[in-house]
Amino acid sequence: MGRRGCGCWRSVFSTAVLYGSLALFTSILHNVFLLYYVETFVSIYKIDKISFWVGETVFLIWNSLNDPLFGWLSDRSFLSSPQAGSQITSPEVVLKRLKALSTNGPLFALSFLAFWVAWARPGLQFLLCLCLYDGFLTMVDLHHSALLADLAVSATDRTRLNFHCSVFSALGSLSVFLSYSVWDKENFFSFRLFCVILAAFSILGFFFVSRSLQRRFSREVRPKQDEASALKELSVGQAPLAQPEKPVTIGQYLKQLSKHRNFMWFVSMNLIQVFHCHFNSNFFPLFLEHLLSDNISASTGSILLGISYVAPHLNNLYFLTLCRRFGVYRVIHWLFVLKLGLSVVMLLAGADHIYLLCVFIASNRVFTEGTCKLLKLVISDLVDEDFVVNRRQQAASALLFGMVNLLTKPGQTFAPLIGTWLLCVYTGYDIFQREPAKDSVVARDSASSSGAPPLRLGCFYMLVFVPITCALLQLAAWSRFTLHGRKLQGIKTQRQGAQHGHLIDVKAI
């Protein structure tokens, strides 16, 4: 008995670690992509402004549509109400998602490599690379995120799984430290070689880890399949216990979702969060260059850059402990208040306090990204509510994650477009021409008369006013979200009761 319990404990630990490690193979590539893809096409491939805007616009459409499309293809069979003897078990669903990860993970890594070698006209390559990369990233992210809702229902178990994801995501962020040391616009070979090494590591990781998890869950599925076969044989010749229900159409599903008030308030808040996260990622190098480069060394800039990518994951480990004690809702609310407070303090202090500016630039990204890491827990709770309210056959977790992305991913495209537009309007600085626009003479003169370069002042105002605006809007939306406290506990109890015998006990894997 003791030997059996020891083996069970090792199995739990290994499964949780393997699930978390899948986040490593994504983050080592995606962090580098976010940091360098704009700079690569603008400064190295010399893409023109029209092609850049066209590419981002098409990317906006594809980026939004592929999430619900892939989610619908994956989960459309789960939408009908449960029928007697026909319920799909959670181990089967998990196995299906792992098979998708073993295929799409390596393809995602290969699509990452397409950015760093010029193989077509800049405009065409920009468009194709973005769409290809995001398609495979979506498949990986949807199925990995959906596993969080499929593997566990209790907040404790989900927090534990998220904890392992945060640990491995932090390790993946170390690629940012290394990338800064090999990044050179004049000599791109070292950076390309670095990207090849990252992609090879990611391909091997996705393949072996997903296959290992598939073998574990295959052992869980076989007994349930045998049981289902036996029940089917016993029911031969008997009248059906219930009339089969028609599958839910996409129109019916959208109508159900439109009545899901917590879902609508959540995506309103999350749209702003996605915008702010990607705004920080896209313009972090610009802020370093124009706000701090004259006052800090290159090594200090590298450390700040690395901290801003690693710290959110490490910080999330502390946030998760707070979530266990106070709940996810309250922790996210506190983070919005903190973001607002820090931005107001920085605005009042001004751009001349260099050390305070360093702390703010790093902390702004740390807390914003830290909030993003917690939102998967909220979406998993929305999956539970959707399952209970609409009496699903099986929780359509990938589809709901896809619908969230449909409504929030536009923020990823709006971030560079709105950021470059604000910078050009206020300062006349055009990242495509590297020359002041003629329309900005007044802005430049007024800024110069204040004793600060116009570009530096414009960057500073962008740095503080964007988080202030985002925090105010998010606090307004988040105050209307009601899926927390006793209501959330009631939803989880109902789901566990409805799927009794069909859910995976994470502690038994």
**The CATH number of the domain where 269 resides is what?**
1.20.1250.20
Q: Which residues contact 394 (CB under 8 A, 6 or more apart)?
A: 75, 78, 87, 88, 90, 93, 387
Tokens of 230: 């036996």
Final residue of a structural domain among 221, 247, 275? 221
**327 and 191, same domain (yes or no):** no
Q: What is the pLDDT of residue 222?
A: 52
Strand partners, 436: 429
Distance CA 140, CA 100 (A): 8
User: Is residue 485 left, alpha or beta, with left meaning phi > 0 and alpha meaning psi from -120 to 50?
Assistant: left
Domain count across the chain: 2
Longest dimension (CA), the chain: 91
Q: What is the pLDDT of residue 80?
A: 60
- Does the residue 441 lie in any domain? no
Distance CA 430, CA 509 (A): 55
Task: Dump pLDDT digits (tens) for 355-410.
Answer: 888 888 888 888 888 898 899 899 999 999 998 888 887 778 888 988 998 888 88
**276 and 177, same domain (yes or no):** no
User: Residue 393 belongs to what H/E stretch?
Assistant: none
- Does the residue 240 lie in any domain? no
**292 and 410, same domain (yes or no):** yes
* Neighbour tally for 52: CB within 10 Å: 22
User: Is residue 248 left, alpha or beta, with left meaning phi > 0 and alpha meaning psi from -120 to 50?
Assistant: beta
**267 and 155, same domain (yes or no):** no
Contacts of 126-129 spanning 24+ positions with Cβ under 8 A: 126/41, 126/45, 126/47, 126/51, 126/52, 126/55, 127/51, 127/54, 127/55, 127/58, 127/59, 129/37
Q: What is the pLDDT of residue 1?
A: 46
Q: What is the pLDDT of residue 412?
A: 81
CA angle 340, 341, 342 (to 5 degrees): 95
Final residue of a structural domain among 193, 221, 249? 221
- Does the residue 209 lie in any domain? yes
Final residue of a structural domain among 221, 238, 268? 221
**309 and 177, same domain (yes or no):** no
- Does the residue 250 lie in any domain? no
**347 and 198, same domain (yes or no):** no
Question: Count of H helices and E strands in the chain?
Answer: 17, 0
**65 and 117, same domain (yes or no):** yes
Q: Are 506 and 151 in contact (CB under 8 A)?
A: yes
Distance CA 329, CA 334 (A): 9
Task: Identify which of 367, 366, 342 has the alpha carbon closest to the alpha carbon of residue 356.
Answer: 342
**149 and 290, same domain (yes or no):** no
pTM: 0.77
- Does the residue 247 lie in any domain? no
Q: Which residues contact 467 (CB under 8 A, 6 or more apart)?
A: 276, 339, 340, 342, 343, 364, 368
Distance CA 113, CA 129 (A): 9
The Cα-based distances of 326 to 156, 319, 323, 444 in angstroms read: 12, 10, 5, 49
Distance CA 509, CA 503 (A): 12
Across 293-322, b (16+ Cβ under 10 Å) vs e yields eeebeeeebbbbbbbbbbbbbbbbeebbee
Task: Dump pLDDT digits (tens) for 22-77.
Answer: 999 999 999 899 888 988 998 889 888 899 889 988 987 888 788 888 988 888 77
**207 and 303, same domain (yes or no):** no
**146 and 293, same domain (yes or no):** no
- Does the residue 149 lie in any domain? yes
- Does the residue 228 lie in any domain? no
Q: What is the pLDDT of residue 173?
A: 80
Angle between helical axes of 122-151 and 354-390 (0-180°, round to 10)? 60
Q: What is the pLDDT of residue 135?
A: 93
**183 and 331, same domain (yes or no):** no
**173 and 305, same domain (yes or no):** no
- Does the residue 234 lie in any domain? no
Distance CA 169, CA 163 (A): 10
As a 3-state breakdown, the chain gives helix, strand, coil percent values, each rounded to 5, of 80, 0, 20
Amino acid at 139: M
Q: Which domain holds residue 393?
A: 260-431+452-508
Which regions in the chain score pLDDT beneath 70?
1-14, 79-90, 220-246, 298-299, 302, 306, 309, 431-453, 498-509
